[in-house]
Every structure is written in C-alpha cells, then in structure tokens.
Homo-oligomer: A and B are copies of this chain.
Amino acid sequence: MKHYNQLAGQKIQRIEAICDGVFAVALTLLVLDVKVPIAAGIQSEQDLAIAFVGLMPKLSTYFLSFMTLGIFWTGHSVQFQYIEKSDRNLNWISLMYLFFVSTIPFTTAFLNEHIQFKLAIALYWLNIFLLGLILYINWSYAAKHHFLNLDPVEAVVVGRAIKRRIVIAQSLYAAGAILCAINNYLSIVVIICIQLNYAFALFGHHKKKKISLPHSEQVNTN
C-alpha cells in the first residue's frame, strides 16, 4: 500500500508540474499581445506618451487576464493541497482545465480586438465559466473517489467551502457579464472589481471563509 501511494503521489506532482508550466507560459504569453508602438511616427516625448496612453485598454485587459489566470491557478493549487491520489479521469479533468487555461490568451486577444461587441464578452465569460465548472467537477470527483488527505468530517467542511466559493464567484461573473446588455465597459470594470475582490479580499469577506479543522490552526480555502 505504501508503495502504491508513493507512485500515486508522484503522479499528483506531475499534474501539479504540468499545471504550473501551462499557467506560467499562459501568464507570460498574454503580454505578447500588447505591441510596442513602432518608432516611425513618434517624434517627441509627447507623441510617445499619447501612444502609451493608447495602449491602456490593452494593458487593462492584459491585467484582467493575469488576474483571471492567477485566481484559477490558486483555485487549482488549493484543491491539490487536499488531493493525494489520482486516477486517469482526474488526470484528464486537469488536462481539460489546462485546455481552457491555454485559451485565455486567445479569448483575451479576442476581447481586446472586439471590445465593443457582446460576443467578445460572452466568449470571455464562457471561458471563465468553463474553468469554474471544471474546478467544481475536479473537487467533486476527487471527494467522491476518496482521493483526499482529509478525514470524512474535514472533507465535508473543506468541500462545502470550496464549492460555495466557486458558486458565488461564478454567479458574480455571470452577473458582471450580463451587464454588457447595458454597456460593455461597465461589464469589464465590474468583472475586474470582482477579481480584485477575490484576490485581495478588498471587502474583507474572506474572514468568513476561514475554517477551523481539528489538526490545523486555520485552513485557507482561497
């Protein structure tokens, strides 16, 4: 048994490694879409300043997508703190997750290029939604197949917190996306605010998420 766990543990490390690799590449590729204004036509500091200000929308969506990837990297990473075994299905759930991670640079560039169209926001939202959905499936599958390093009581407590967090976040994203019915920029600003809140707990609600577990002081579910 110890032997098998060791093997399975190795496998978890590989899933974590491919995951960290894909996220790292995606995080760094995003900026490639932000093109430096070419020298021709720039005559003065002021011209350059104007050209740089013109990059702001692109830099904003770049920052938005960096936050998105950061949030979902953290989400996946937190789940795998509690997952100690894996099988081929869990492996492929992570690979499908990485597929939608790798499409983020594409849906971001699509949003950048067509920010005035609702289809671009719908596509971006769909990408975020699918990442949330797979994260939810990942936990459910791992919990159902007893791949967790938690005793049953802990598993219920941690699982409830993880699932609630995904559902609330996705509801807020959906609400933000629907705002594009009024105005696309409003929609994007709201989604950025939701993400900043999740990353930095601006409105302090993350204190409620701290869970007391028997064998640890505090478990971070973010």
The answer to whether A20 and B29 touch (CB under 8 A), given A88-B220, A109-B36, A119-B45, is no
**Is B34 a contact of A66 with CB atoms below 8 Å?**
no
> What's the number of copies of this chain in the assembled complex?
4
Question: CA–CA, A26 to B29, complex, Å?
Answer: 9
> Which residues A137-157 have CB closer than 8 A to chain B?
149
Question: CA–CA, A103 to B32, complex, Å?
Answer: 9
Residue A163 CB within 8 A of the other chain: no
Selected from B10, B28, B48, B63, the residue in CB contact (under 8 A) with A29 is B28
Question: CA–CA, A21 to B220, complex, Å?
Answer: 24
**Is B20 a contact of A18 with CB atoms below 8 Å?**
yes
Assign chain A's interface to a size class.
35 or more
> Chain A: residues with CB nearer than 8 A to chain B?
1, 3-4, 7, 10-11, 14, 16-18, 20-32, 34, 36-39, 42, 45, 48-49, 52, 63, 66, 70, 73-74, 77, 80-82, 87-89, 91-92, 95, 98-99, 102-103, 105-106, 109-110, 112-114, 117-120, 123, 149, 199-201, 206, 213, 215-217, 219-220, 222
